[in-house]
Chains A and B, each alone.
Chain A
Amino acid sequence: MPAVSKGDGMRGLAVFISDIRNCKSKEAEIKRINKELANIRSKFKGDKALDGYSKKKYVCKLLFIFLLGHDIDFGHMEAVNLLSSNKYTEKQIGYLFISVLVNSNSELIRLINNAIKNDLASRNPTFMCLALHCIANVGSREMGEAFAADIPRILVAGDSMDSVKQSAALCLLRLYKASPDLVPMGEWTARVVHLLNDQHMGVVTAAVSLITCLCKKNPDDFKTCVSLAVSRLSRIVSSASTDLQDYTYYFVPAPWLSVKLLRLLQCYPPPEDAAVKGRLVECLETVLNKAQEPPKSKKVQHSNAKNAILFETISLIIHYDSEPNLLVRACNQLGQFLQHRETNLRYLALESMCTLASSEFSHEAVKTHIDTVINALKTERDVSVRQRAADLLYAMCDRSNAKQIVSEMLRYLETADYAIREEIVLKVAILAEKYAVDYSWYVDTILNLIRIAGDYVSEEVWYRVLQIVTNRDDVQGYAAKTVFEALQAPACHENMVKVGGYILGEFGNLIAGDPRSSPPVQFSLLHSKFHLCSVATRALLLSTYIKFINLFPETKATIQGVLRAGSQLRNADVELQQRAVEYLTLSSVASTDVLATVLEEMPPFPERESSILAKLKRKKGPGAGSALDDGRRDPSSSDINGGMEPTPSTVSTPSPSADLLGLRAAPPPAAPPAPAGAGNLLVDVFSDGPAAPASLGPTAEEAFLSELEPPAPESPMALLADPAPAADPGPEDVGTPIPEADELLNKFVCKNNGVLFENQLLQIGVKSEFRQNLGRMYLFYGNKTSVQFQSFSPSVVHPGDLQTQLAVQTKRVAAQVDGGAQVQQVLNIECLRDFVTPPLLSVRFRYGGAPQSLTLKLPVTINKFFQPTEMAAQDFFQRWKQLSLPQQEAQKIFKANHPMDAEVTKAKLLGFGSALLDNVDPNPENFVGAGIIQTKALQVGCLLRLEPNAQAQMYRLTLRTSKEPVSRHLCELLAQQF
């Protein structure tokens, strides 16, 4: 049925096109075009009125010239004139010219809109479609303003032709995308949904697209579309391969419509109605079954169309993530494709499996294909397929296969395409950290990364290894030894020098005992690299050198010699010069004690989400990150593998200096300055609060030290927004705390950091610091799923009259939390007077459309505002006697719930906040403590005594304070800790 014969239509146009094609050079072409332009211009300007045919022909030539890439500055008016022609062919060229050469000339827009208006009202379906296509192609705001109101009417009018409805639906879609505000929802929306039932499959095809777009912003208005879509899909899927006639494509019934319906369903959670859900599951099963049937045709079109539906079905199954049986079947089907001879299918199977790997139901099934995937990484010819294989390995990685996957990815890195090296480096670094069982493996892996692909190792990666080594004393010696060995290589990457320089500067002393790595050897090894390095690396090495002077006094003379050299002291680079001068002076004038204080070992870094992960997400662009990120954070692995909460050992260590934030134990005035960068967190926020001890203010040393610290890419301070007053919903809004709330709260009485709450969806981590009557708390909300949380709103509620006792300011957080992502909320807390009831934390959000709410007790108890007080035995006893009124004392005798270990008990009492006083109680087994509770209104002095009785496995706890409720409350809180 040939519809067009060659040369048909406008002869003049064909001649002109031939001429252009015969031009031998660009110059000849331009010459020919200019001649034609002159000709057309004279015709348009001529006295003789042109007939429609000529006008059409010339406008079409102009269009052709424009499409060749030449500017056209006339002819618009003639094109607009064609719009009002009664002949289709003339009108069509007019509309085409307008659509391709959009012109914002306001005079013309008015004329064009007028012509469109006439055609829309013409009741001639051909003309109506031309006008609708023009609006859809141009999609400008002016057209939206002129026609947004008319098009819904045309779309749902009973007498509109099918083809007009198709065009109207998509035209409306375009206007909605361009300017949603111009398309108000109305009574037509319900009728649009019913187009899913339309007899004409083309109308349904167009309508599904429109509904899919509209329902994203107005899910409730369109939710009836779910059951209609399911029944439509069911009819298609269960039809025989020839039932749908015109809409059967290579024996596959309506493949595109099926795909669109399946995508529409992905805008909603699984249907609630059991019958609809049953019907849908049946459809999904049918699609999976059909995949196993022998093909009805050998043509690739048949298998492509069939598999288009299959992959979309699998996407929906993954979106629901609730049918283990279907997920595993999907995985098996994809497993077959992994070895298919069609590259397309292998690629798509790898891609689709990536998302399956993040479902807990199918993760294990995906893992069984590891060997095939590794093989793909090694043998696929198409780099994009290899990349998908690398993505999948990353997604399927867990504790059980991490070593294998990391080593395969490292091996692949040696030959990987340059385009994807950085991404592979990031992935290896993340996996190595996340699944490290022992950190020596982690250190080895990162150093291997630098060795193999040093150029692609970004700052984030090597900062991170330094943070981890700094925070974990079990790996520091190993790290020092390993970098020392790595630096022996004659040619080592500059990144290796950076890592080596930093680690040896901090931990070189751990390997200094071995004569092969004695201090002078370490120094000369580092210094042998110095001159070949960039300014930044040399600056870092200078800092290492001054640390060496502190660690190894025997190197002082050599290093001072280096610093003193003209090449340093008079270095043209101001940074290097300044460091050399300052370090030289510091090493000469400061006493050993001062030097040791200034150059003290770096304090542990606050644990936070790995910045590498953020970088990978950025690299993959929005949206893709969440699929890559392993949303199912393995709870058992979180302690060893960073994540958001500090390790238990850091939290509960008795030594105050081990506290992550270095704040819980206020140092006595003579103590060394608090670690840089940590001490002043509170001071600058509560600038009108009580003056901080001088030692906490920024000092010269601190600024000095902070340069040595690898920059923290995401300081918590950066997240500070305008403080929002704490949401204070009325009592009817407050949920009852969950049953475990008290138990969870008790865990935090003696510690400030850790995981407050965790379930399948959400993890809430806490990090807090308190000083005097002020506190700051960071809450970390981690979305453990792969689906975005919506309307996420955590708020703090003050039950009863707590409001007069405790002020909590919260910062607002984003209302959406992406799958696998974490958001942080900052709370500023001020204790106004003593209190008993903790504030409540109410967290509400929508997960997959279903509202979730959760109420917890916020771990803020009165003892957080303890200030430890040291005193001598006689002072203690004197005060003890002063507080001898019966109501000032609270006492409890209770059975031990935990093994009675003196060290643990000490740690808990220190964590509780009081000072521990030695040599006060005549019985050395007993513990005596003292402190002051700081509130804005008053201070409450507290004395406590804990007497363990090992034989009876009992304790007696006595509290004496100047306020009766405080004594009682502290006694209750503390008694639950042993």
Chain B
Amino acid sequence: MSRYLARPLVSRYLSSVSSHPLHVCIVGSGPAGFYTADKILKAHEGARIDIIDRLPTPFGLVRSGVAPDHPETKIAINQFSRVAQHERCSFYGNVKLGSDLLLSELRDLYHVVVLAYGAESDKDLGIPGESLSGIYSAREFVWWYNGHPDYSSLKPYLKRSDTAVILGQGNVALDVARILLRPTTELASTDIARHALSALEESSIRKVYLIGRRGPVQAALTAKELREVVGIKNLHIRIKETDLSVTPADEEEMKNSRARKRIYELLSKAAAAAGTSEADPDQRELHFVFFRQPDRFLELDERMGHVSGVNLEKTILESVGSGKQIAVGTGEFEDLNCSMVLKAIGYKSVPINGLPFDHKKGVVPNVKGRVVSHPLGSLSQTEPGLYVCGWLKRGPVGIIATNLYCAEETVESIREDIEEGVCKSAKAGSKGLIELLEKREVKKVEYSGWEKIDAKEKQMGSERNKPREKLVTWDDLLAAAN
């Protein structure tokens, strides 16, 4: 069904300011990029959009982040594909901002540049032993099992012991716990990368600890994911009843957030159910550990350079005003042995030359999506024609849907600026981009190239009862695209 029929409501946004096309470039083809493109196409009949991505494949974290056992979450790709195939929109993959072209060059070619390239780095703990082998960020592990071409050769240590520790209790932490603990027979029919399935089939990990520095009321996971993990067959959930006692501040937090309250109730139910059942030796275990923060990583002498455990400090909660509680160390420590650690404590955006960046928050400083010229300067001085959307704008929080409203806000700022006459002069747009890329011999992958990759993956997948068998190296992806 066509969603691009002209409608009276939309036409009030029609740009009557200029008679030449509005050239837009969006950097990043994940949800933020695609929702931005969708809204600009609908709001401006004269807009022509190029979406560039450093990967040959579009869709960002929908392809490389959403867990293999969550196929319904990937359905969003259908709408994004329709946007990419719109006559006024083009996708160019294998084009990297900073290497293949500069931000200043993009701003010369396009009236509007929207940076939506997300957060491809990680928060660090900054504690001793963090560089021991066997310690990975959840992002690296997720990209590994999802076949991201930068991490296919990660080779995580899955055979050294039966225990893995995950630091963090958000949905990414739950994703990686599930992938570690689900029977591989269940994973075999998903789009998990082949090298990951093989490695997991030989994995000795049977116990996973999810460590949070605060309590169950503050846990960052959400109800759907918790419900799912508690419902996994033959997975024994362990939660200490004592961790479930709540403070008055906790009660207040739950009163103000129905999500928090429902999660607490689910955890309580899971703890009660766990308390009455016996773990049999073959069962896999998922432990929720609250009120513990990592102090340092441990290594045994005979396995020099490899992690053998985490030293954890017990914490208590302290109110810091406006309903927020933080974790404070008590000086009491305990060790937890393991052979693998996954840090799921948050992503971080990567700055690029020529782009104002707030290193403290890890985002591009902006006001409603308009990039602010100096992170510490006046908020009213913004860079003309330069915008941000998604995690690069808001920080690495939220779900796919969050980008819908984020894009709406950024596109509204763009619309206001166009009415103010920001985009008066003609620009080269796509034509200029293609000339530049040709001059630099960049092998861009167009949407039709992605369709070839897509077809090949689906065909390979059908031979193995999987929705697709992902191509996981740069060479294979680029070869399939051409």
Whether chains A and B associate is: no
B interface residues, Cβ below 8 angstroms from A: none
A interface residues, Cβ below 8 angstroms from B: none
